[in-house]
Homo-oligomer: A and B are copies of this chain.
Amino acid sequence: MPAVTARRSSKKPASKKRSSKKPVAVARAGSAQKSTRATASGKASGRTAQLTYFFAPGETEGDGSMKSLLGGKGANLAAMTSIGLPVPPGFTITTDVCNAYYASGSRMPRELAPQLDAAVKRLEKITGKKFGDRKAPLLVSVRSGARDSMPGMMDTILNLGLNDETVGALVTATGNPRFAWDCYRRFVQMYGDVVMGVQKRHDIEHEPFDAVMDALKHERGVQEDTHLDTGALQELVGRFKALIKERTGSAFPQDPRKQLEGSITAVFRSWMNDRAIVYRQKYRIPAEWGTAVNVQSMVFGNMGDDSGTGVAFTRDPATGENVLYGEYLVNAQGEDVVAGVRTPLPVAEMAHDPKIGGAYKQLLKVRKTLEKNFGDVQDFEFTIERKKLYMLQTRNGKRTALAYVRIAHDMVKERLMTADHALASSDPEAMNQLLQPVFERGAYAAAQRDGRVLTKGLAAGPGAASGEAVFSPARAVEWAAKGRRVVLCRVETSPEDLRGMIAAEGILTARGGVSSHAALVARQMGKVCVAGAGELSINYHAGTMTCNGRVVREGDHLSINGTTGEVIVGLIPTADSELKQVLIQRTMKPADSAVYGYYAFVMGLADKARTLGLRTNADGPEQTRNAIAFGAEGIGLTRTEHMFFEGNRIDAVRAMILAGDDAARASALAEIQVFMRSDFEAMFRVLEGRPACIRLLDPPLHEFLPHTQAQQADLAAKLGIHADRIAERVHALHEANPMLGFRGCRLGIVHPEITIMQARAIFEAAAAVKRSGTPVSPEVMVPLTGFAGEVKDQIALVRREAETIMEREGVRFKYLLGTMIEVPRGALTANEIAKEAEFFSFGTNDLTQTGLGISRDDSNMFTAPYLEKGIFKANPFESIDQVGVGELVRIACERGRATRPDIKLGVCGEHGGDPASIAFFQACGLHYVSCSPFRLPVARLAAGKAAVLAKRAAAASTKKPASKKPASKKPAPKAKRKP
């Protein structure tokens, strides 16, 4: 025993804190925290992680697959070098170094310095130049490079290695003193700004380096930078150095090795600058990725008219056309193109420029090489130094949705791109662009220019809408019936507004988030919508909408941009998308469309790849038809209550709720049953045997009753009852938290007659359609289940009706009875519930509300600060919270399958149309996702992408353990596709 104690206590000193000033260790690992841990073991095993990766012909250490370690730029520089493209040699410092830097409180890992020395030495050897050498000085650029490109977000240093001595060598080498001193001047300025942090002292001060230069130009009497002669530039360098000393207290370092260290640190620092943080938030890039740093020997595009620099795409990124697309500047460095001081020429002009020699032909060859080797459109930077072409960077080109589908179509057909890559590299969300009506470009720009943008809300339903402002659904219907285009403006919307929303071109609300009723309905209908424009004050009584002192009256022209959230005064003409004209209106032949063929090709790729089935949330035959046109393989959610608001139907529903006795209630139910049955019949006919998952009545009954005195009086007159009775019932049904109240299956359990009526409507419709020769496949879904007993109770009622009706009508068809999993208890007791339910459909909207304890209608007050503080990684109502809500989904899948291995699993919450969520559902092994009809192109592509990425991940994970020991785990079973 004493031995153990002794050993323990002897361990203690080893775990004492690091002394605070020493550099820290680093080792290969994903996250900062892991790094720290990995270090200790790395040290123990005696291996030191490789922190720099060299690239030069025949000496390249990295490759194109190493983006997480080398960043996108570094990996692709290695790849281009390997395939023989003319890349100036250099090396990449890994992202691990960046992570170690931040993990240790902004200190460089101690292993970096020796490796940096070695890499510089190697670069000197290859280039035959030397840091600080008076004859052949090595000059380098230092650039950031994250895993995903973050263009312009981080810092870059050019011409590093210049100092008071090496500048002379550059004079000699180029025979151009003005050029050499201009390079030096730029370097000092850039270094002073980026590395040493010379900044404006206050907002009204001019940028200090510019001020110094302007003063000199004034002294010398010149207008343009380019008119400053060599002497003036020498003077300028001196004044810049003085400025640096004055502002920072430190001198500009003459030692290139020091310059290099400073520059690397500056790039790491810029990973955490405000711009970069905001960018990462927007594009959901984890801070843990870190940035790499690329150190590359300089080439000069500004050595004269036989030199130049440019950026280009291998194809047109806006239209997808198969042409080299880009621009270049003669006698310029990269930053000049970006700065926009001079106007660049289209890259095709190079063909006619004899001074650059064969560089253009070289460029055309490079274009082919790039596409062939990278398998995608490349967005690249090049420099021509005295007729010789150099490649400085390449990456997959960002493109519009139109360009995406065209390029995918063309390159897959040309066998330049794999179908897998076409899907894996897609941005499914962008498919929306193909569906949006758009403002006529010129008029839109004019409106923005003229200050007609009133305010900005949430971009809730993409697209553009223009029309007369109305403030009531009734007015919207009335005016639309007369052919007037209206924009419905409401404080917020409710199911009662549905007809008005349908009639309107677009919907604008002052309250509510991206998942509010307005936004949800808008997306489901593909309606343009700006929601939650909080600056608006809408006064129904006065018929006005006020915003910052400006007043919009009923009938005033108003335009809204559901893609940007802008609310604009006045009319802006719009045009419908071609896809809708082909698929929905059928006013355009597929062959006449410039988009449709490409779109259909890409959807075909997705369909071939995906293992997830695809359904839609649709509440009537029209929506169902549209959804099928967009690729739906069935209905994942029909909300029966949405049928209640057409025509005078709501009166019967209200009569049911207000019924004073059983007879009155039975008669109201009979009336409802008739119209529900006819709706279901129409839907079954459109579906032609595709499954239809129908949810039993879900919302609390008070949602169907009028709430104002006037409306109640109207209804009382209509039903021939006393208004007090209505007020009393509304009062009795009032709830503190309707979301958690008397709704879902709770209604059907307390009022079985409502469930029975619905079951009859569904199965009588199904029997009728089946008898007429069309197959049917109804699925009935019990909402809001938390207890197995609830499903058992409701399913028994529905099954009895189904069997009775099939018996009576003399037909048989298969049907499924299942439930929504949308409260945590339902997920946790899925093993019990699966004894009763044949399928689960995850209602992730409510599961998010209950799992997180957050009402989506009330989350506006804190969502923005939560996103800013990083408490939310993403808005949980837009993209599923994989950690918390996702765990409930995983638990429910696992437990449901344990009881009933063939249980059908799907999702019908809003997340069913979100690409990140779809990838998650793929991983959970769901059978299908369901989303609103106009989200289908997004979901379809996302499902294809998710399948490809899952396949790749599975391949990668079976590869890895194989090297250690025989794979002990089977790969996750591929979900069987049954929508």
Contacts and interface: CB of A to CB of B under 8 A. Distances in A.
A746 B861 contact: yes
A873 to B, nearest CB: 9
A885 B786 CA distance: 11
A735 interface: yes
A358 interface: no
Contact of A829 (B742, B862, B865, B884): B884
Contact of A871 (B789, B857, B881): B789
A679 to B, nearest CB: 28
Interface stretch (A431-439, A819-827, A941-949): A819-827
A852 B745 CA distance: 13
Given A823-B851, A851-B824, A853-B784, A866 B740 contact: no
Nearest to A865: B750
A737 interface: yes
A728 to B, nearest CB: 9
A925 B218 CA distance: 80
B870 A738 contact: no
A846 B852 CA distance: 11
B851 A825 contact: yes
Interface residues of A, number: 49
B850 A851 contact: yes
How many identical chains are in the complex? 2
Given A750-B862, A793-B871, A869-B793, A853 B823 contact: yes
A786 B853 contact: yes
B749 A858 contact: no
A286 interface: no
Nearest to A739: B737
Contacts of A846: 853
B786 A861 contact: no
A872 B786 CA distance: 10
Most chain B CB inside 10 Å of its own CB: which residue of A736, A742, A849, A887: A736
A749 to B, nearest CB: 6
A759 interface: no
Contact of A740 (B740, B749, B828): B740
Interface in A828-863: 828-829, 846, 849-855, 857-859, 861-862
Contacts of A505: none
A921 to B, nearest CB: 18
A869 B745 CA distance: 14
Given A865-B750, A869-B749, A871-B793, A858 B735 contact: yes
B885 A825 contact: yes
Given A786-B852, A787-B871, A850-B851, A862 B742 contact: yes
A794 B802 CA distance: 55
Nearest to A752: B865
A238 interface: no
Contact of A736 (B738, B744, B884): B738
A956 interface: no
A888 interface: yes
A681 interface: no
A825 B854 CA distance: 11
A316 interface: no
A353 to B, nearest CB: 56
Contacts of A578: none
B789 A737 contact: no
A467 B222 CA distance: 98
A790 interface: yes
A870 B789 contact: yes
Contacts of A881: 825
Contacts of A825: 851-853, 881, 883-885
A741 interface: yes
A763 B46 CA distance: 50
Given A850-B824, A869-B793, A881-B825, A855 B740 contact: yes
Given A828-B884, A888-B828, A746 B862 contact: yes
Nearest to A746: B862
Contacts of A741: 854-855, 858-859, 861
Contacts of A872: 787
Interface in A554-580: none
Contacts of A869: 749, 789, 793
A786 B884 CA distance: 9
A824 B871 contact: no
B735 A871 contact: no
A744 B784 CA distance: 25
A895 to B, nearest CB: 11
Contacts of A740: 737, 739-740, 849-850, 853-855, 858
A845 to B, nearest CB: 12
A861 B738 contact: no
A737 B862 CA distance: 15
Nearest to A871: B789
A82 to B, nearest CB: 42
A822 B784 contact: no
A652 B285 CA distance: 44
A862 B786 contact: no
Given A852-B823, A871-B789, A857 B737 contact: yes
A697 to B, nearest CB: 14
A195 to B, nearest CB: 32
Interface string A432-456: 0000000000000000000000000
Contacts of A852: 786, 823-825
B823 A749 contact: no
A69 to B, nearest CB: 27
Contacts of A735: 855, 857-858
A883 B826 CA distance: 11
A746 B861 CA distance: 9
A744 B883 CA distance: 21
Contacts of A736: 738-739, 855, 857-858
Interface in A630-655: none
Most chain B CB inside 10 Å of its own CB: which residue of A784, A790, A859, A884: A884
Most chain B CB inside 10 Å of its own CB: which residue of A746, A870, A881: A746
Interface in A866-893: 866, 869-872, 881, 883-885, 887-888
Contacts of A887: 828
B865 A749 contact: yes
A158 B735 CA distance: 55
A885 B850 CA distance: 12
Interface string A743-768: 01010011000000000000000000
A740 to B, nearest CB: 4
Contacts of A870: 789
User: Closest 10 A-B residue pairs measured CB to CB?
Assistant: A823-B853, A825-B884, A740-B855, A741-B858, A789-B871, A737-B855, A736-B857, A742-B861, A824-B824, A735-B858
Given A750-B865, A790-B871, 11 more contacts: A735-B857, A737-B849, A739-B853, A741-B861, A746-B861, A749-B865, A749-B866, A786-B852, A789-B869, A823-B851, A824-B888
7 contacts: A736-B857, A737-B739, A740-B855, A746-B861, A787-B866, A787-B871, A824-B853
